[in-house]
Structure 1
Amino acid sequence: MATVVLSAFEMIDPETYREVLEEAVDEPVTVEVAEFDSTESLIAAATGADAIVTDINTPVTAEALDRLDLRVVVRSAVGVDNVDVAAAADNGVTVTRVPDYCTDEVATHSVSLLLACLRSLDEYDDAVAAGGWDWTVGRPIRRVSASTIGLVSFGPIAQRAAEQLSGFDAELVAYDPFVEADEMAEYGVEKVAFEELFDRADHVGVYAPLTDATRGMVDADALDRLGEESVLVNVSRGPVVDADALLDALNANAIKGAGLDVLAAEPPENDPLVGRDDTVVTPHAAWYSEDARDELNRSGAADVAAVLNGEVPDGRVDPDADWL
């Protein structure tokens, strides 16, 4: 009998896993749910398990992978930044992710954050709620069609965002060392270097996965290249943007605002980026729709089933992939 241990995380649905695994796996499968609060709690919960399905917060470290006897780790998300993929490979453990389950949702959320900041919706709402009725509280606002929007990374989510933004007639540029210029051009996007993107863009959306190379890549130098009417949106991972540098830029009125679905620490504790008039912060919710949640769980369960059946799962992460 195989054992699958799921993180007690609201994104992960035990009933869907039980349903899919019962239908797809020949041998009996036990599905358990546990709190993954630390490496030790993860090890305690998953000792003897064949598979774990982890959340966005719990690190699956080399120590855990060395001490457990897993066959597969499912990361219920697009990224795998909290899983030691190299250590998993060393231990013969397959790592999977669900790369496409929320492409449309995150792209739409990123555009929503951009427009909310550009159109000063938060400031207007607060002012009206306080009894005001003054259009000037949101100044300055510029036409979206007159702007250049930069996309940091150009994977499926950024590509979908580019399709959505194309309707606003803005100029689109993108930085991604792993995507060719011809592919970007198919979306009406010009490939540029990282520094050039920040030099040219009026507004920037960050979509990059969190890796050693991308941690803190949007730093003070990058933000200094933007203008005082610029908006920065981050729907990737909090640490991709240097939080201190962003705070300094906002405090100095060097940029207009920021739309953030991710923060350096989640949930935040006294984060100075939260509750400002010039930021719109959502609780890592860009992924969410009922449709996306169902797809996330069914795809993750299908990957577990594939590994238990001796097959290669659709969401397998190549430990030698350039983007890791």
Structure 2
Amino acid sequence: MSAQYVVKVADCDHGSIDIERGVLREACPSLPWLNCRTEDAVIAQCADTEALLIMYAPLTRRVLGHLTSCKSIVRYGVGVDTIDLRAAADLGIIVSNVPDYGTQEVADHALALMMCLTRKIVRANAQVKRGEWDFRQMRPVHRLQVQTAGLIGMGRIGQAMAHKVHALGMRVIAFDPAAAPEHVPDYVEMVGLEELLRASDVVSVHCPLTERTRNLLSEDRLRLMKPIAYLVNTARGNLVDEAALDRLLSEGRLAGAGFDVFGIEPPPADYPLLRHETFICSPHMAWHSDEAERDLKRSAAEEALRVLRGEPPKYQVNRF
């Protein structure tokens, strides 16, 4: 009989955790599915866990200090900004994410937002449904093959996006101080951030949220963009100063933006960005496909199980 462990799902907004239960069945016959969205809820309900699967649960140093039996924390998805990685390392807790479950989906979604903006699909759709049939109202629309795509971040998703926009015939430039040269395709020109913002017709954000990247696209930097340029964000909302973006859209200093993520999720109904016709958005779904969701759930559970069994983690993000 295999060893038995205490594993819990602190929070998860999927329809079921059947896949996780299947992976962990022998090692963890009972897999509680909780709804911990506050520090106190995690402390009260998860203090005895040896491995924790989380989506949005806040894991601060205070919370982690109460998880005295915990060996593994696995975040459903790529971002780990709700977890104090330094505190986890100090306490000997391995933190992992799942970085490769929805790479193509996120790049596809960023591409779709870009196409909707540059071809003005959403605006045209609304006008036709109002009985207005005049393509001239969409002007200006520019050929993609004479435009430059600027990608902020050249990890898995940034590389996938680079491949897609290059295939469309766009010039591709990118900014990523941490990018290994051998992982950068030869058709991508690496440039500084300010140069990228000035030169791009579309800027697409694909970097993680850290204290160094929070508000990376500040008002001063956003104002470097061309007035005819578009901004796409499928990474994290707090990478962009959204109040500044609202001002630029109000002033006509930016042609438009497409976001799948916000600093506050979900955004309130009166959120300023939502009032702009040139702003399109979706509900943090870029990662989603039926296939990606299955991969995510399976990989998260398998990672927790590896750590519990003393095997090397595959996706550890904090180093001791």
Task: Tell me the TM-score range normalised by the shorter chain.
Answer: over 0.9
Corresponding residue for 1:175?
175
User: What's the offset of the Cα at 1:98?
Assistant: 0.2
Deviations 1:271-297 (A, max 9, x none): 111242101100000000000000000
Identity of aligned residues (%): 33
Corresponding residue for 1:240?
239
Deviations 1:47-75 (A, max 9, x none): 211111111x3211111100112111110
Deviations 1:161-196 (A, max 9, x none): 11111121111100000114454243x100001111
| Shift in CA distance, 180/74, structure 1 to aligned 2, threshold 3 Å | closer
User: What's the offset of the Cα at 1:237?
Assistant: 0.3
Alignment of 1:141-220 (within 5 A): 141-181=141-181, 183-186=183-186, 188-220=187-219
Q: Which amino acid aligns with 1:38?
A: T
Corresponding residue for 1:81?
81
Q: For 1:259 and 1:100, locate their aligned partners in 2 and report how far apart those are by CA, in whole Å.
A: 23
Q: Which amino acid aligns with 2:240?
A: V
TM-score by length of 2: 0.95
Corresponding residue for 1:64?
63
Deviations 1:235-281 (A, max 9, x none): 11000011111111111111110010001100111211124210110
Q: For 1:316 and 1:182, locate their aligned partners in 2 and report how far apart those are by CA, in whole Å.
A: 22
Corresponding residue for 1:292?
292
Q: For 1:275 and 1:135, locate their aligned partners in 2 and report how far apart those are by CA, in whole Å.
A: 23
Q: For 1:68 and 1:319, locate their aligned partners in 2 and report how far apart those are by CA, in whole Å.
A: 19
User: What's the offset of the Cα at 1:4?
Assistant: 1.3
Runs of 4+ in 1 over 6 A off after TM superposition: none
Q: For 1:275 and 1:295, locate their aligned partners in 2 and report how far apart those are by CA, in whole Å.
A: 36
Q: For 1:145 and 1:196, locate their aligned partners in 2 and report how far apart those are by CA, in whole Å.
A: 20
Alignment length, in residue pairs?
315
Q: For 2:273 and 2:184, locate their aligned partners in 1 and report how far apart those are by CA, in whole Å.
A: 32
2:7 maps to 1:4: yes
2:22 maps to 1:22: no
User: What's the offset of the Cα at 1:317?
Assistant: 1.3
Corresponding residue for 2:53?
53
Q: Which amino acid aligns with 1:18?
A: R
CA contact (8 A) 2:110 2:204 kept: yes
2:309 maps to 1:306: no
Q: For 1:161 and 1:265, locate their aligned partners in 2 and report how far apart those are by CA, in whole Å.
A: 25
* SS of equivalent residue, structure 1 residue 274: helix
Q: For 2:15 and 2:96, locate their aligned partners in 1 and report how far apart those are by CA, in whole Å.
A: 15
* SS of equivalent residue, structure 1 residue 113: helix
* SS of equivalent residue, structure 1 residue 159: helix
Q: Which amino acid aligns with 1:78?
A: V
* SS of equivalent residue, structure 1 residue 293: helix
Q: For 1:192 and 1:31, locate their aligned partners in 2 and report how far apart those are by CA, in whole Å.
A: 47
User: What's the offset of the Cα at 1:137?
Assistant: 2.5
User: What's the offset of the Cα at 1:29?
Assistant: 4.0
CA contact (8 A) 1:181 1:191 kept: no
Q: Which amino acid aligns with 2:22?
A: E
Q: For 1:12 and 1:209, locate their aligned partners in 2 and report how far apart those are by CA, in whole Å.
A: 26
Unaligned runs of 5+ in 2: none
Taking only aligned residues, the RMSD between alpha carbons, in angstroms, comes to: 1.4
Unaligned runs of 5+ in 1: none
Q: Which amino acid aligns with 1:157?
A: I
Alignment of 1:244-323 (within 5 A): 244-269=243-268, 270-319=270-319
